[in-house]
Structure 1
Amino acid sequence: METAHFGNYNVNTYTDLNDDDDVYDDDDIEPTTYNQPPVPQPQGYPAAPRYNPINQYESADEYDQEEDEEEETLEENPLAAVHQLATKKVGIQLYNNNLVLDCPVATNLSKASQFETPETSYMRYAAVTSTEPANYRHDGFDLRQNIYSDPRSTQLFIVITIYNEDDILLARTLKGVFKNIYNLRKSKDPKWGSESWQRVVVSIVADGRANVHPRVLGLMSSLGCYQEGVAFNTVGDKEVTAHVYEYTTNIGIGKVSDGVVELIDPSDKDTRDKSPKICPVQLLFCIKEKNAKKINSHRWFFEAFAPLLNPFVCILLDAGTKPDEHALYNLWLEFDRHDDVAGACGEIQADVGRWGKRLLNPLVATQNFEYKISNVLDKPLESAFGFISVLPGAFSAYRYTALLPSRYGNFFEDPESGEKTVLGPLDKYFKGEEVHKSNTGIFEQNMYLAEDRILCFALVAKPGCRWKLRYVSAATAVTDVPSELHDLIGQRRRWLNGSFFAALYALTHAFEIWHTNHSLIHKIMFHVEFIYQFFNLLFSWFSIANFFLVFYIISKSMGETFDAGKILSVILEWIYVACLMVCFIFSLGGNKPKTTNKAYVTIVVFFAILMIYLSVGVIYLSVKNIESITSIKFVDFFKNNILRSLVISLASTYIMYVVASLLFLQVGHLFTSFFQYMLLSPSYINVLNVYAFCNIHDLSWGTKGDNGPKQDLQKLSKGKDEDQSKKFAINVATDQSAIDEAYLRMHKLIENPLVEEVKKVDEKELAMSKFALIRSSFVMLWIVSNFALIAVVIQAGGVERLDGADDDDDDTATRISSIYLQVVLYSVAVLSFIRFVGAFWFVIGRIAFSAIHR
């Protein structure tokens, strides 16, 4: 096996927290064995398995056993269907008081292996009884990478979180990951090579056993990292909290379409010749007993598994997000080249389907344009500063050592034991899990809807360090986006509320930057970015008022140019206000978007028509203004203050879209998605924002936690003495024909095309939240401030004509409205210019860096 060294870290070192050295170099790596003695590494595996394979035992009737209980059918619960297998009782011996089994795999999986070792001949199962993920290691559990005769170092540790997604979404992500691992083997980079697969571990964490899609179990069984009937409810008097399966698969994933996942067996010459890009992949499949949200799945990844593997880089993916075949290497390269990079993200692209057929859906097209503009303007700007406000959980990467506490971190002292624990960025990240269970304030609970933003700020502001966050444009991934309006509204409720309150948190804690080791210039630059974010936040708060004022002025000006314009202006104003009020009523009334989807669709259609009217109005008034010019001087066109400001604001925004897209050599979205984005942009302001702010009391993620584990699996009774040398009886399949039969039965779950189930709409009213009063006060403040701004500008200011004609209104009043709108519109232009400068600087920096390292 090849040996390679990456970065500057050592898997066996650990830090002394009592070090009194005042000089701290943030280039020093903080290891995973932080404040803990190294765990001795056992020898002899794979030459001799650490746990005796269960198929070595014969009848175990003489061993202790518990009376069998009635089992469920496969259709009811595939995990519990042991009675459908040809099983027998075998004697097993506990290790460290834990139930860990090495289960022989199906013949198909063994034949597919390119080499014959226990890691391909046996699947490893652990019935985890740890009450908390952080106790996983201390309770004596381990991972296979550590128990080989030559323990493996892990460079890339990948986690894919799933809830109730089907096999199609998971297979799409795994296919992209598998391609990346294959390309790492073929990489010309001397730090990788033919044995690169041994330095990559892919984990799939399922959030709740009852919620796992049966076809996902079929897919994982077909890959070898799951077996029907191998699961337990209890081990002695301890409840099983998670089921961990480990296997090194050689099965590849081919075509994923039409509701079917095509698997590739390298032992089959026909399929191997068609899809030769197959290599071994180390899989870890963790099924949590309870549903405890995505953040808890990340807790298992970071606190249970990562400390054992001590990875160089951790990569986060969502099921349905498919990374490009070189995306993971490009992310890793950013960390390998820059010692001060703590986190990075790539370009997330909307899945537009084959030949872009999904762009026919205006919602998908709008999100496609939105993602593209964020990737060519926002992310490059923030990356140039060194602080990206959010690294998307669907596709991002972190240097593991940067996530751990530093010696200058805050201490938490247990009030009972007095034990002190150093807090790090991960503690702030996972605080959201406890926040949602406690009686903390509504601000903090909404803030932790965007816990990834909290983590990003915690990394940049980590005491005594100088970590930065970067955007890697060369790393791309495709992800599913909502195609239904009610799904988009629900998604943006979480995004908008979480990002708004997390941005407030970052702004109010901005001075924590001065506790870091960043240079003075970087600290100043961070504050420049915070000021930029403050103005963005301010414009977001008053977005409804500003949009209505622009509409009102253009509408009134159109009404003065032709007779029918006055009538149309009044009609549109009344419909506008009515639609806005309906949005508030639906949002405040506790109506779910899915139950009022038709009304929301009608409102969105109206705002799209309104946007067309406004666009035509700007062009028409500009032409009228030109016709009113008596001289041939071009400068006379800009004599009208508001029209001048409006044209500059719009031009700066849309021209920057075009220029930035050309700068990144991405222009397709300008032709396929810009028109849809322009039409739906008013709905983003008047529908999505309203629903989000009116539901800040809603802290749900669309999932419900389980009350407790179901007692539908096997139970292992250890007796009172719990003697580890003693052998205990369990029901397992040991006959190869029975194992093959179970494998084929699980594989059939994914052979037929997936038929999507039509979910019933829940008609029950939402329970009253304890934050209802705070929610109402917050929304009232928002509404009053926006409408007060509208009233002041309109009533105290009047409206300046945009067609070049004279206005009979009071000059002072006209000047007030003119000045306000000019400030708003010019501010938009300035912010657009800043975004462009950031994107331009990002591109220049990349070109310069490539030239230096060429």
Structure 2
Amino acid sequence: MDLYHHLNTLPINPYNINQTNPVSNTTDSSKNGYYYNRNNMNIQNQNNHHSVFIRNPSKYIIEYEIPASLLKIVKYRENKEFTCMRYTACTGDPDEFLSRGYTLRQQLRDRNTEIFIAITMYNENSTMFCRTYYSIIKNISYLSQRTKSKVWGREAWKKIVICIISDGREKIDTNVLNVLGCMGVYQNDVMKRVTNEENVVCHIFEYTSQAYVNENGKLCGYKEGIFPVQIIFCLKENNCKKINSHRWFFNAFCPLIQPKICILIDVGTAPTDSSIYHLWKTFDKDPNVAGACGEICVELNKGRKLLNVLVAAQNFEYKMSSILDKPLESILGYISCLPGAFSAYKYEALLNTDINEGPLASYFRGEEIHTTENKGNIFLANMYLAEDRVLCFELVAKKGHNYVLRYVKSAKAYTDAPESLSELVSQRRRWLNGSFFAMIYAIMHWYKLASTSHNIIRIILLLVDIVYQTTTMILSWFSLSSFYLAFHFVSIKLSVAKNTPRSRRIDPFFSYGLYITESVRVLYLLALISVFVLALGNRPQSSKYIYWFAVAVFATFFIVTFYYYTFTFVKVLLEIDITKGVLKLFQNHLVRDNLISFGATLGVYLVSSLLYFEFFHVITCLVQYFIWMPSSINILTVYAFCNIHDISWGTKENEEKNGLCNGLREGFSNELEVLGMRRGSNNAERNFIKFRENLKRIKSGDTNEVKFQTKKDDQNRLLRTNIVLAWVFSNFIVAISLSSVWYIKYLEYLDLEMGFNPYLTFLFWSICGLTTMKFFFSILYVLNHYILGL
């Protein structure tokens, strides 16, 4: 019988490989330190005197024999850890997992877990899953090869547990289930819908697998040198969003496993071979590190994806962020965002200081806010679109502690960047809105740092970080008007040049500059109006051609502006007599401002990239980045602010309705106790053969249709309107004021021929100050990381 182990006939020592009777009624066995007492329904550990009270004794927990065909390709075939898969039909909320008496194999085996990895997925295809899983296998292999380490070595796999959490049983890709079935981690014959008159919320499969499926669909075993991997596959019955998956991980499984380090990885993200070790080493070196992240790199498919302008621009953006932004925040101790795609946390630091106060309490408050009954607070709803940013601030500001966050350059992970404009717009809407409101939250609660145990120097550094983030946010707020004014001043100079002697004119457009700039200005305004109209009620997927037209206009707008300033700079530079001294250059306002602008952008990009020995992205992606940059200001920002009322994740459909996350999906029948149950001794073998046959159908790059939903709540839309009006009016006032007649006359009074413009000078110096600050801390990070090894 396949279902040979049920809790009602639970063996006393279920993991004793010498046990001969799987349904033994023995009442005590101390060989592995565990016994099962049917009288008081307690599972007790004689070694550490730990006990868990089982409130509900009628749980459905079985062990399922692994197919013989799978055992033929693996190395270890004796211990039940390798010959049996454990299935638990879990009812109730993840917060009740411990109190209901559920257990996990690692707890029963009394294993010390050093690293607990959460792989979250929704409906991603099997190619993405296999890529992520295989990258983790290579990391475990790397840790196993560190034989001189006090922690790692040949038995490293026993200290690492992988938890695969799928958000919705009907949403998971069937090919992923085929892959898991071939690995021995999944069987569809054992799942229950109802147990003890309670709906099953989550299906939990546990197995130590020695096989994996590569991206081509080939099943690999011990011949490929694979180490055993402890896996927990958590298949949620309903789709309740990623944050709910993390609640299963942190609140249900972590209290039983008690890991030292928790690592979060999204399906599709592939860490390099030693990345997990480098993240772990950061915590091992400094006990005050509460969280760390590595470098997120864009998967370029051997450079072929660089032909896509969007991918190339994102690649440059990601690289410069890892060279300038993350090092600065790491030195200061507060990284505003540890990416959920690849980040690590010290589990002890995540624990709450009180029941409703602490990092995890703040982190999971977003799940409650996003339910139907609590969507009135649009500020919090948008803030928790970036719940990882909230968690980062709560860790640094944790009461009575002096935790810091670190960036680990040597820990890299590759991920696919959006390749279509509509997908990028939808993704950045959530990123921009979430980060904007989360940063406001951090700025408003800076006083929490006073309740920490940070020393005065660290508090000053953290406050410097907050001031830096505040300044950056203000400049970003007015980026729309700043971008327009940079072009506007070009047209002013050309109109003035028309009334000046031909010998003194600076018109790089062969006397047609005024006509060209006015034409481009009209196209820009039309494109900007179109973007606003599209953002107020249209999906990016349905308006991609108009969006691409706007991208072309904004790129032309930028090229004309850049060409004029470059031409003017070179012409004025050639007219300056440098024989009187180099300082003569800086006495000219136009030359000085342009030198500052170029130095604070191109100069810093080039030097800092050389400093980090990374220059490929500058050569291949710099042009695409500058071409795309105007559209990121005028399209992504506009769409984000115009859709503040939309608190969905943007790329994933939310199935949660009326609290269905804690119950059976509507329309399901309660009559069947077990999903697809079939009797027979060869049942597991038949399933395995079927799983392997289905692997042949795996095709690289398979995708699923992704639906986009928006929330139409009047209160949310009203707040959206107020914020958009405040943003548009403030930028409008700045643009109109600085383009008015009195300002033009003021510029003429200040000698326009010298190129002086107070606003541009202020803007250039502000950008220069922020960039210089990032460059300085980038150098410090290099000294700490590569020379001092910190």
Residue type matched to 2:547 in 1?
Answer: Y
2:116–2:263 Cα contact (<8 Å) kept = yes
Task: Name the CA distance, whole Å, in 2 between partners of 1:622 and 1:205.
Answer: 57
Task: Name the CA distance, whole Å, in 1 between partners of 2:406 and 2:19.
Answer: 42
Q: Who is 2:60 aligned against?
A: 99
Residue type matched to 2:693 in 1?
Answer: K
Q: Who is 1:832 aligned against?
A: 771
1:733–1:739 Cα contact (<8 Å) kept = no
Q: Give the drift of 1:845.
A: 1.4
1:54–1:734 Cα contact (<8 Å) kept = no
Task: Name the CA distance, whole Å, in 2 between partners of 1:646 and 1:698.
Answer: 40
Residue type matched to 1:402 in 2?
Answer: A
Deviation string, structure 1 residues 121-144 (Cα, Å, up to 9, x no partner): 1111100012x1010111111101
Task: Name the CA distance, whole Å, in 1 between partners of 2:187 and 2:195.
Answer: 19
2:192–2:675 Cα contact (<8 Å) kept = no
Alpha-carbon distance change, 395 to 186 in structure 1, aligned in 2, over 3 angstroms: same
Q: Does 1:429 align with 2:388?
A: no
Task: Name the CA distance, whole Å, in 2 between partners of 1:362 and 1:793.
Answer: 33
Task: Name the CA distance, whole Å, in 2 between partners of 1:617 and 1:285.
Answer: 59
Q: Who is 1:742 aligned against?
A: 687
Q: Who is 1:847 aligned against?
A: 786
Q: Does 1:287 align with 2:256?
A: no
User: What secondary structure, in the 3-state scheme, does the structure 2 residue paired with 1:334 have?
Assistant: helix
Q: Does 1:46 align with 2:15?
A: yes
Structure 2 counterparts to residues 402-801 of structure 1, below 5 A = 402-406=349-353, 411=354, 421=355, 423-437=357-371, 438-558=374-494, 560=497, 561=507, 562-588=510-536, 590-629=537-576, 632-633=579-580, 634-701=582-649, 702-707=652-657, 708=660, 709-710=664-665, 732-733=677-678, 735-754=680-699, 767=712, 769-795=714-740, 798-799=743-744
Deviation string, structure 1 residues 480-510 (Cα, Å, up to 9, x no partner): 1100000000000000000011111101111
Q: Who is 1:208 aligned against?
A: 168
Task: Name the CA distance, whole Å, in 2 between partners of 1:793 and 1:433.
Answer: 45
Task: Name the CA distance, whole Å, in 1 between partners of 2:14 and 2:335.
Answer: 43
Q: Does 1:232 align with 2:192?
A: yes
Structure 2 counterparts to residues 67-216 of structure 1, below 5 A = 96-115=57-76, 116-130=78-92, 132-148=93-109, 151-187=110-146, 188-216=148-176
Task: Name the CA distance, whole Å, in 2 between partners of 1:666 and 1:476.
Answer: 14
User: What secondary structure, in the 3-state scheme, does the structure 1 residue paired with 2:757 have?
Assistant: helix
Higher relative contact order (CA 8 A, sep 6+): 1
1:43–1:147 Cα contact (<8 Å) kept = no
Alpha-carbon distance change, 178 to 52 in structure 1, aligned in 2, over 3 angstroms: farther
User: What secondary structure, in the 3-state scheme, does the structure 2 residue paired with 1:619 have?
Assistant: helix
Task: Name the CA distance, whole Å, in 2 between partners of 1:436 and 1:159.
Answer: 22
Task: Name the CA distance, whole Å, in 2 between partners of 1:227 and 1:210.
Answer: 15
Task: Name the CA distance, whole Å, in 2 between partners of 1:251 and 1:473.
Answer: 31
Q: Who is 2:217 aligned against?
A: 261
Q: Who is 2:32 aligned against?
A: none
Task: Name the CA distance, whole Å, in 2 between partners of 1:423 and 1:372.
Answer: 36
Identical columns (%): 37
Alpha-carbon distance change, 648 to 483 in structure 1, aligned in 2, over 3 angstroms: same
1:793–1:817 Cα contact (<8 Å) kept = no
User: What secondary structure, in the 3-state scheme, does the structure 2 residue paired with 1:345 have?
Assistant: strand
Task: Name the CA distance, whole Å, in 2 between partners of 1:496 and 1:833.
Answer: 24
2:336–2:393 Cα contact (<8 Å) kept = yes
1:545–1:786 Cα contact (<8 Å) kept = yes
User: What secondary structure, in the 3-state scheme, does the structure 2 residue paired with 1:209 have?
Assistant: coil
Task: Name the CA distance, whole Å, in 2 between partners of 1:331 and 1:467.
Answer: 16
2:145–2:153 Cα contact (<8 Å) kept = yes
Q: Give the drift of 1:552.
A: 1.4
Alpha-carbon distance change, 764 to 128 in structure 1, aligned in 2, over 3 angstroms: closer
Q: Who is 2:503 aligned against?
A: none
Task: Name the CA distance, whole Å, in 1 between partners of 2:220 and 2:708.
Answer: 44
Structure 2 counterparts to residues 270-309 of structure 1, below 5 A = 272=223, 275-276=224-225, 278-309=226-257
Structure 2 counterparts to residues 324-473 of structure 1, below 5 A = 324-353=272-301, 355-406=302-353, 411=354, 421=355, 423-437=357-371, 438-473=374-409
User: Please, what is the CA RMSD of the aligned residues?
Assistant: 2.8
Residue type matched to 2:82 in 1?
Answer: T
Q: Give the drift of 1:622.
A: 1.2
Q: Which 5+ residue runs of structure 1 have no aligned equivalent? A: 1-40, 57-93, 267-271, 412-420, 718-728, 801-806
When normalised by structure 2's length, the TM-score is 0.87
* Greater CA drift, 638-647 or 614-623: 638-647
Deviation string, structure 1 residues 759-781 (Cα, Å, up to 9, x no partner): 77979997454311111111011
Q: Who is 1:38 aligned against?
A: none
Residue type matched to 1:225 in 2?
Answer: V
Structure 2 counterparts to residues 13-24 of structure 1, below 5 A = none
Q: Give the drift of 1:546.
A: 0.8
User: What secondary structure, in the 3-state scheme, does the structure 2 residue paired with 1:298 have?
Assistant: helix
2:74–2:221 Cα contact (<8 Å) kept = no
Residue type matched to 1:109 in 2?
Answer: L
Alpha-carbon distance change, 335 to 42 in structure 1, aligned in 2, over 3 angstroms: farther
Deviation string, structure 1 residues 258-277 (Cα, Å, up to 9, x no partner): xx3322122xxxxx2xx33x
Residue type matched to 2:758 in 1?
Answer: I
Q: Who is 2:201 aligned against?
A: 241
Task: Name the CA distance, whole Å, in 1 between partners of 2:261 and 2:380.
Answer: 29
Task: Name the CA distance, whole Å, in 2 between partners of 1:253 and 1:262.
Answer: 5
Alpha-carbon distance change, 752 to 691 in structure 1, aligned in 2, over 3 angstroms: same
Residue type matched to 2:106 in 1?
Answer: Q
Residue type matched to 2:726 in 1?
Answer: L
Q: Give the drift of 1:637.
A: 4.0
Q: Give the drift of 1:45.
A: 3.9
User: What secondary structure, in the 3-state scheme, does the structure 1 residue paired with 2:217 have?
Assistant: strand
Task: Name the CA distance, whole Å, in 2 between partners of 1:548 and 1:515.
Answer: 44
Deviation string, structure 1 residues 799-854 (Cα, Å, up to 9, x no partner): 59xxxxxx993349999982222111101001000000111111111234339xxx
1:794–1:817 Cα contact (<8 Å) kept = no
User: What secondary structure, in the 3-state scheme, does the structure 1 residue paired with 2:187 have?
Assistant: coil
Q: Give the drift of 1:106.
A: 1.1
Alpha-carbon distance change, 792 to 642 in structure 1, aligned in 2, over 3 angstroms: farther
When normalised by structure 1's length, the TM-score is 0.81
Deviation string, structure 1 residues 609-659 (Cα, Å, up to 9, x no partner): 222222222221112213444674444444442452233123222211111
* Greater CA drift, 697-706 or 280-289: 697-706
Q: Give the drift of 1:747.
A: 2.5
Q: Does 1:810 align with 2:770?
A: no
User: What secondary structure, in the 3-state scheme, does the structure 2 residue paired with 1:754 have?
Assistant: coil
Q: Give the drift of 1:252.
A: 3.1
